[in-house]
Structure formats: structure tokens, C-alpha cells
Amino acid sequence: MKWQIDGQKLRLRIDEDELAILLAGGMLETRTQFATAFALRGALRLTPGADAALSGAADAWRIDLPDAAVRGHAARLPTREGLRFALPGKDDGDTLELLFDVDVRDSVRRRRPS
């Protein structure tokens, strides 16, 4: 699972093996230790609701994605279009744009004849 942060945009990119884990009801977790300063932990899971949600603390996040939307996206793979969600913030301009996509490059390479 890859996380990219740019201002008020958070992009989550997973591969097809990770997608299979999510679709089977599992949770993806990642941890990055920033030398001796601090660590960040993140988790991603599917939930039955219609909206995406972000919870946790500054050093430990959890993102919930709507199960139906992710399953619909998985059925359209391969596609360059990902899922987009707007997560409202406390103040104007604090809305977080959440982008979710699945990297299918590895499976495309596996499918091509050598």
C-alpha cells in the first residue's frame, strides 16, 4: 500500500494482491519509521457504509472505504480511473480529497507473453 500526501489530497494506491485481501474482508496495514524521530501507521479496510471515513490520531490512521464502491471499481479493472471521496474538515478549505486506485501493472506484465 502506497500513501501520497499533497496538501489536501491523500492518494492510496494498492496492488491487486492487496485488493484481494480487502475483498476477502481483511485489513491492510503499513508502518513507516522515520529514523529515530517517530513512526506513522496506517490501516485500510472496507465497510458497509456509503461514505469513506478517516479516523485515528496523527501517527496512526485508519481509512474506511465503502465496500460496494470498491467492489464496483474492482469489477471495472483495469482502469485508469480511481475512486474519489471528499472528507469534510473542521473549517472551510480543510476538506480532504481522498483518491483510491489499484495498480494493475504487475498483473498486466504477467498476462503478456514473453
User: Are 28 and 18 contacting, i.e. CB atoms less than 8 angstroms apart?
Assistant: yes
Q: What is the pLDDT of residue 109?
A: 60
pLDDT one-digit tens code per residue, 17-64: 999 999 999 999 999 999 999 999 999 999 999 999 999 998 999 999
What is d(CA 22, CA 110) in angstroms, rounded to the nearest whole number? 21
Query: Which stretches does DSSP call E strand in 27-95?
Result: 28-34, 38-47, 53-57, 60-66, 83-87
User: Are 21 and 110 contacting, i.e. CB atoms less than 8 angstroms apart?
Assistant: no
Domains of the chain plus CATH, in order, are 2-111 (3.30.1360)
pTM: predicted TM-score of the whole model, two decimal places: 0.86
